[in-house]
Every structure is written in C-alpha cells, then in structure tokens.
Structure 1
Amino acid sequence: MADDQEGQSKSGETADADETPWLADDQFYRALASTRRRRLLSFVIEHSDSTVDELATVLAGWETTETGAMATVGDHDRIALELVHSHLPLLEDLGLVEYDADTGVVRAEDVDAAVEDLITRSIEAEQPSQS
C-alpha cells in the first residue's frame, strides 16, 4: 500500500512539474539572460518561420541601432555562426524553438504565455523611455 501511495505521489509530482518545468530550470533562466536570445525569441514568436540568415540580419541590425555603427558582412556571419552553434541548440533543447539545421528554418514552439509575456516585457524595457 505504501508503494501505491508513493507511486501516486510521484506521478502527481510529475504531472505538476510538466505544467511549468521551466520555472525550476536554471538553464531556462540562463537562456533568457542573453539579450540576443531574448531578441531572437521575440522575433520568431512574432514571425512564424524564419531562417538563420534572416535572424542574423535582424539581430545585426538590432545591435547596430544601439551603436550607430554599420553592420558588416563579418558581423552577420559571426552572429549566424553563434546562432547555429550556441543560441539555437540551447533554445531548442529547452523546447522554445524548433530548428531544422538542413533547411536553416527556425520557428517558435508552443511558447507558454507567461514566457512570451516575459520576453515581450524585457524587449519593451530595452527601449529608451520617450520623455
């Protein structure tokens, strides 16, 4: 009988953990700590399908608006390389994006509304206040 109760308790805990597993996942918070990853997520949530090339262009442009410098081909290529080898695999492992390495297509997974709101608010907070 104790085994039955223990089994029920474990399955109950699993069900609760499945609802919002990202809340207890340090990797999730590390992923969102990156401005580039938050921007990437914001873009792919807003635009259903993107490519690595398109994302690199958007992110390079986003960064140049902050610095006032022109984005170079080297900037674009460096960002694309970071996307492929670092940012996209991490976000895919967390279930936030789906990345097809063969086609270069990136799309948002079914992102929890709370996560989407957090990303949106963090992007809005980056904008200088209009005084």
Structure 2
Amino acid sequence: MKSTHGGTLSTTAANTTQADTPQNVDADDTKPELLHKDTVYHLLQNERRRLALRFLREVEPETDLGEMAVQVAAWENGVTTEAVTSDMRQRVYIALYQSHLPKLAEEGVLNYDKDRKHISRTAAAAQLDRYLTLDDRPEAPAETGSDQTAHVAVTAVGLLVLLASQVSAGFNPLTLAVTLALVAVIAVQQFGLPTLPVAN
C-alpha cells in the first residue's frame, strides 16, 4: 500500500479482480444439454422429422432445404431421387420449412437459417442417433409360442363347434372328413411331422 497526496492507493482490489477472472476459457468447449425423454419422443414421433435427422446423419451434416426435401420425399415414397416428382418434393418442402425444421432448431438438434434455407447438424443431434434406423417403419412383433397356442386353441374350438352342430343335425361323413383333415393340418403346423424310427 502506497500513500499519495490524493489519498491511499490500494492494489488489493485490482489483484483480486485479476485472480477471479478465468483464463483461457473456450466458449465453444461446452457439452450440449441432455434432451429430456419427453422431448426426444416428441421430436421423433413424426416421420418427416426423423427423416430430416437421418439425412443430416447419413447424407450431409450441412445442406440446403431443397436438397433435403428431395431426399426425404424419395424415402417417403420408396423411389430414387431422380423419380421424385415436383408434387412430392413440394409437399415435403413446405412441411419442413414451416413446421419441422423450426421445431428441431428450437430444441437445439440442428441449426436452421430460415431466410437462407440452410440447415446444419449440431452436437446435440448425436443423442438421437440410436433411435434412427435405416427403416423407420416398425417391424411386426414375432409371434410367441403362447400366441401360437392360443391361435390353435381357438381354431380347435371352432372346429369342435362345427362338428357338434353337424352331429346334432344328422351325421354327415363328408363334414367329418373335412373336420379331421383340418385338425391334422393344424397339428402338423403346431407340432411338426412325426419322426419315424429308422431301422439299423
């Protein structure tokens, strides 16, 4: 501390300010915020939003709206980009421009310049990658053993009811033969053909 004619000059405050100031802070060295599961669900529940994200991941991480619209329209209609008609492209273009891209940009998974129609992928989009597949259509669940058994049981009951009605109405050999044949077919489908012993 030094004394002057104008009073006392303290260097403590200046030193404290310098010590508290962070050095070499990189403003871009920040991780994106984790997306809430409800946000993820809302973003991915729409097929065109999924396809837009898929385009940025698989085709170009930075693109313009026209190029994206053509590819998304091709995926939607199961055709090549060369086969996309102007109507196909226009429907996708308008929906992306007015609704889907602004929503994705709002949640931070892409950058969208609406005036320049320029789109680029952000680091936050990586959180959605595991939900994006080559085919966005859900696969039909495989039929389990219990489902197969239930199906066979319902069919068998139906055949028994048919047989009982025929018996009550009067014996019909043809109906009996058809019923037994159907039972045999169902048994083969459910349990397979029997294996015959082979003599050594």
Bin of the TM-score, shorter chain as denominator length: 0.5 to 0.7
Residue in structure 2 matched with residue 93 of structure 1 by the alignment: 106
- Considering only CA atoms, is the larger Rg found in Structure 1 or Structure 2? 2
* TM alignment of 1:31-42, pairs within 5 A: 31-42=43-54
2:110 and 2:125 in contact (8 A); partners too: no
Give the total of aligned pairs: 104
2:119 is paired with a residue of what secondary structure? strand
Q: 1:45-124 residue pairs with structure 2 within 5 A?
A: 45-46=57-58, 47-65=60-78, 71-111=84-124, 113-119=126-132, 121=133, 123-124=134-135
SS at match of 2:129: helix
- What is aligned with 1:12? none
Runs of 4+ in 1 over 2 A off after TM superposition: 111-114, 123-128
**Structure 2: 5+ residue stretches without partners:** 1-31, 140-200
Percent of counterpart pairs with the same letter? Answer: 27
Change in 2 beyond 3 A, CA 1:19/1:33:
same
Query: Post-superposition shift, 1:116?
Result: 1.4
SS in structure 2 of the partner of residue 111 of structure 1: helix
What SS class does the counterpart of residue 36 from structure 1 fall into? helix
1:61/1:95 Cα in 2 relative to 1: closer, same or farther (>3 Å)? same
- Aligned-residue offset at 1:50: 1.2
Question: Which amino acid is the alignment partner of residue 46 of structure 2?
Answer: S
Could you state the TM-score of these two structures normalised by the residue count of structure 1?
0.67
Alpha-carbon RMSD: 2.4
C-alpha change, 1:84 and 1:112, in structure 2 (3 Å) is closer
